[in-house]
Structure formats: structure tokens, C-alpha cells
Structure 1
Amino acid sequence: MPSQLLIIEVNRLDAARARLRLSGELDFESAPDLLAAAAELRREGYQELVLDFTDVALCDSSGLSALVRIHRAGTTGIHLTALQPQVRQLLTRTGLGELLAAPPGETGQARQAG
């Protein structure tokens, strides 16, 4: 079955912060799209990136790698919000939840769209 398209909706929240709302699957095929979007925002001067995982159905090792690369490329950390249970479990098992500023216990069901 082919990978579901990753849709990235960018919201510039203020002069330093932007939100990337992700929908679909963050995998080998789509991770470069996320890297490109984050790099473009960094070039525009956005220091803090909030990645909204409300509608992310799957995240594989390529997706995790992309998140680590985005984190390392910035002067401040990235913040992951509205994580689905599968993604949260993956971050917990790999120890990346703390590095990537994933709030403990937050899931997509607990967050209101904004």
C-alpha cells in the first residue's frame, strides 16, 4: 500500500514562532518535505517550531530522524504537540520524547484545534 501523503500547513504565530500542522504519514518518502519546510522557516528567521501531530497516522524511523535533524538545526528546540499514541510510544521507546520537548501524556484527543 502506498504511503499516505504528508500535508504540512504552516502558521506563522509571531516573529519568532511558527506552527507546522502535519497530516498523514511521516515516513521515508515524506520526511524530506518536513525537513524542507522547517529549513525554509529557519531561513525566514523563525527560531521556535511547534510541530502539531494531531492528524499524523504514522511516524517511522525516517520521521524520527527528520525530527532530530530539525531539532539540531535550530538555536532553540522544537515542540511536538497533539501526539497520537503510536507516535508517543515511539518517542518514549527511543528516548527522544525529552529531547524533542514532547509534553508528557498529551495526545491528539486531549487537544483542541486552534
Structure 2
Amino acid sequence: MSHQLLTIEVTRLDGGHIRLRLSGELDYDTAPELVTAVAELPGEGHQQLTIDLTGVSLCDSSGLSALLMAHRAAGSVRLTGVSAQVQQMLDRTGLTELLAVQTSAADGDNLRAIG
């Protein structure tokens, strides 16, 4: 069984927003990478952290834990690109109440990357 690595792309957006675009597997082996990436974000008081899960092929309980730790570290997290499997896990664990989940891709089109 081959293991797909996690890739995290960080983009600064208008209004102090930061987007992390994940691709690969968010699991026991890779979840610490997300926690580290969030911890290393500049402490400029970003108002919103968006985590785009569109490219995530697998998310287990360790991945959910990493999302929760990201929420605690950043203060405000919005998830986009949530698959049906991840949405079901968020619902079953009650994390939907804590993490904002964007259901429409069009909602995120308002955010522009800045240089």
C-alpha cells in the first residue's frame, strides 16, 4: 500500500485571510504537518484561516484532530472543498458546530490572493 504525502500550499488573501490548500492524505502520518503549518503562520492577527480540502483524498480521526488544533491555534477556521466522507465525520463528531464549513465553492470566489 503506497502512502500519499500531504502537500500544503499557503496563500495570503485580502483582509488578513490566509488559505491553506491541502492535497493528499490527512491522516496519522501527515496530520502533524498541518499543525506545524498553522503554527508557523505569521502572527499578524489574520482574521480568518481557510483550509481548502478539495485535494484531500483521505481524512481520518488524526486529520480531524489536526483541523481542531488548527482552529484552536488560529481562532477562526473555515473549511472548503469538504468531501461527503469528511462532512459525515464532522457531523458525527459534532465538529460541524465548531468549524465553519463552506458548502458552495462560489462563496470562496470573493477572496483574492495578494502579492
Q: TM-score, normalised by structure 1?
A: 0.83
Is the 1:13–1:19 contact (alpha carbons within 8 Å) kept by the matching residues of 2? yes
Cα displacement (A) at 1:77: 1.4
Q: Map residues 8-47 of structure 1 onto 2, 5 A cutoff.
A: 8-14=8-14, 16-47=16-47
- 1:1-114 to structure 2, matched below 5 A, reads 1-14=1-14, 16-74=16-74, 76-103=75-102, 106=103, 111=105
Q: Answer yes or no: is the 8 Å Cα contact 1:49–1:77 preserved in 2.
A: yes
CA contact (8 A) 2:8 2:22 kept: yes
Structure 1 gap segments, 5+ residues each = none
Aligned to 1:41, the other structure's residue is in SS state: coil
- State the aligned residue count: 108
Give the superposition deviation at 1:45.
3.9
Structure-2 separation of matches of 1:51 and 1:58? 15
Q: Say which is worse superposed, 84-93 or 42-51, in terms of deviation.
A: 42-51
Note the alpha carbon deviations across 1:60-103, whole angstroms, 9 max, x for none: 111111111111123x3100011111111111111101201113
Unaligned runs of 5+ in 2: 110-115
**CA deviation digits over 1:26-59, x for unaligned, max 9?**
0011111111111111535434210001111111
Runs of 4+ in 1 over 2 A off after TM superposition: 42-47, 110-114
* AA at the equivalent of 1:34: L
Q: Secondary structure at the match of 1:43?
A: coil
Give the C-alpha shift of residue 15 in structure 1. 5.4
**TM-score (structure 2 length as normaliser):** 0.83
Supply the RMSD in Å over aligned alpha carbons.
Answer: 1.9
